[in-house]
Amino acid sequence: MASEFHPVLSPRVADKPDETITLSFDDPDVATNVVVQIFEVDAWRSGPDRVAENAGRDTLIAELKGRILAKKFLLDSITPKGKIGAKPEMRLHIDGEDAPLVVDHSLPFPDSAIVNENGVFEVEARVSGLVGGKKRSGKTTVPVFLRNFKAGRPIVAFITGDPRSDVFFANADLFWKAVADGKFSLGSVEEIRTFLTKQADAGGFGPWGEVNVVNHGNEFEWIVKLFGSAKGVDHVHTQDLDKRRSDPRIFGSIPSLDDTSRVIIRGCAIGNDQSLLDAIRDVFGGDATILAPKFIQIYATSGKVSREGFMEMFFFYVPGSSAPSLAECKQTLSKKFPDVKDDDWLPMLTRTTLSLDGYRHDRTEKFAGNQTFTISHDPGKPAPSSLGASHDFVQDAREDWTNDEDHFHTDFDEWKWTPGPLGRKETSRTETLFVRQIVGSRHRVEVRRELRDKDGKPVRPDTNNPAHFGRSPAGTP
C-alpha cells in the first residue's frame, strides 16, 4: 500500500475559471483525517524549471476534510475562503461523487487571488492525513491553469521602464493593470522574447492574442534595452537589428505567436518608420502583425484611473543650435501646418511645461564624423600643418554625404557644420594623414498637444485605424 498522497487535478488547462475541475487520488488506497487544501499559487516547479508569476503569496481557496477509501475521497466538510456567490469562482468535482448525483462545489476566489491573477489562475491541491496511522502529505505535481482572459486569447503588457522614476511608465503601469489580462515588468527585448517563448505553456497562457510592449521611441528609433545585461536603453535603428539577425537572444521563432497574434509597440511615433516595423516583426518571430503609433504615445492619469491617448506634434528644423524668433516660429509652423488655427500657435509656443492643451518641446540634435585628407611628399619630409589647415574638410563631408538611415534621411545643408581640431599622423615616410572631426547641429522647434476630435474630446487610439498606427506587414487592417 502506498504511503504518500498523490492527488490529481484535471484537466490541466481550462479555458474558463468556472470550468469543472476534478479532484482524484492515485494513492493511497485508504487514509483517515484527510485535509485537502486548494491553493491559487504564484510559483510552481523547482530548480531551472521553476516558474514564478510575481511576488504575491499563495492564496487558500478552500479546505476540504474527509477520508479516502478505495482511492476515493469521501467528503465530510468543505470550507470556501472566498465570499459565497462572488465571481470569478472555480467549480470542483470530487471523483467518487458521481452517482447517483454528480456534485460540483462552487469555490469563489478570494480577493487576494484575483489581485495576483495576471489572466490565469494556477491551482494546486495540498493534502495531509494519516496513512496506516502515520502522518503523510503530498500535493499535485503541476498546477491546473484556469484561464480568465478578457477575450479569446490573452492580452499581456510589458512595462520596460521604471514606474518609480518615469511618469510615462507609472501611468502606463496603472493603465495596463486594469486593461490587460497580465502585466509584467520586463526591461529588455531579450527578456520579453524569453517570456513569450516559455510562459505560453509553463504559465498556462497558450497562444498569445495581443502583446503590448511599452517603451519610449520616436519617428526613427525604438528606444528600449535589447539585452537584459545592458546598463541603459538602446537607441535602435533598422540597421542595428539587421546587424544582429544571427543573435538568437533577439531573433528566432516564437511558436506561441502566430499570424492571428498582434504585437503592439507602445512607443512614440515608431509607426512612421516602415523598415523599422518590418525588422521588429522579425524580432518577434516573423508571423505576428506588428503595430506602432504614428503619434506621441501618452498615458494620462486622473485619481486612480489612467487612460491612453495620443499627442500630435508640429515641428520644423533650422541649422544650428538655437531657435529663430517667436514670430518666425509662428510663421514657419503656420505655413507648414495650414490646418491648425493661427491663434493656436502662440499659446503652444510660449508654454514650456507639459500640458495636454499644448506645449513646446524643442531639442538640438548633433551629428559628428571624422574626415581625412592624405598628402604625399618626398621621403622624410612631412607635409606642413598649414596644408591640412587650409584643406576644406567640410566640402569633403558634403561630397561624402548620403541621404540615408546613417544620416537620418537628411540633406547636408539641414545642419550647421563646425570643424573640430586638426590632427595629423605620419602614415609612412612619404604620406601624411590629416584628420578633422566635423560636427553638425540642427535645432528642432516642436510643439505638441493632445490629439482631439472636432468636438474637443480626446481621440482614443485605434489599432485598426491606419492613420493612428503603422503596421507590418504593410497595408490596411
Q: 3-class secondary structure for 14-68? A: ECCCCCEEEEEEEECCEEEEEEEEEEECCEECCHHHCEECCCCCCEEEEEEEEEE
- Poorest-pLDDT segment among 5-14, 50-59, 447-456: 50-59
Count Cβ neighbours within 10 Å for each residue of 311-340 and write b for 16 or more, e otherwise. bbbbbbebeeeebeeeeebbebbeeeeeeb
Say if pTM beats, i.e. exceeds, 0.95.
no
* Mean pLDDT score, 257-272: 97
Three-class SS of residue 427? strand
145, 122 in Cβ contact below 8 A? Answer: yes
> Is domain 155-295+463-472 annotated with CATH 3.40.50?
yes
471, 293 in Cβ contact below 8 A? Answer: no
Find the angle CA(369)-CA(428)-CA(424) to the nearest 5 degrees.
Answer: 35
Nearest to 411 by CA among 393, 396, 395, 398: 398
103, 122 in Cβ contact below 8 A? Answer: no
Q: In degrees to the nearest 10, what's the CA dihedral of 43, 47, 48, 53?
A: 10
pLDDT digits (tens, 9 = 90+) for 64-98: 999 999 999 999 999 999 998 888 999 999 998 87
Question: In the prediction, which pLDDT does 286 show?
Answer: 97
pLDDT digits (tens, 9 = 90+) for 152-183: 899 999 999 999 999 999 999 999 999 999 99
Distance CA(349)–CA(469), nearest Å, equals 27
Band (pLDDT 50/70/90 cuts) for residue 114 is confident
* Mean pLDDT score, 414-432: 94
Question: In the prediction, which pLDDT does 381 show?
Answer: 87
Taking 60 as the threshold, does the pLDDT of residue 48 lie above it?
Answer: no
Nearest to 92 by CA among 61, 113, 58: 61
Per the prediction, the chain carries an average pLDDT of 93
**How many CA atoms does the CB half-sphere of 408 hold within 13 Å?**
18
Domain boundaries, the chain: 6-147, 155-295+463-472, 312-449
E-only strand ranges, 353-415: 359-360, 363-376
> Pick the residue with more confidence: 408 or 439?
439
Q: Which three cell numbers stand for residue 13?
A: 488547462
Q: Which three cell numbers stand for residue 175?
A: 493603465
pLDDT digits (tens, 9 = 90+) for 362-399: 999 999 999 999 999 999 888 999 999 999 999 999 99
* Mean pLDDT score, 97-124: 84
Q: Which three cell numbers stand for residue 391?
A: 584643406
Distance CA(201)–CA(13), nearest Å, equals 10
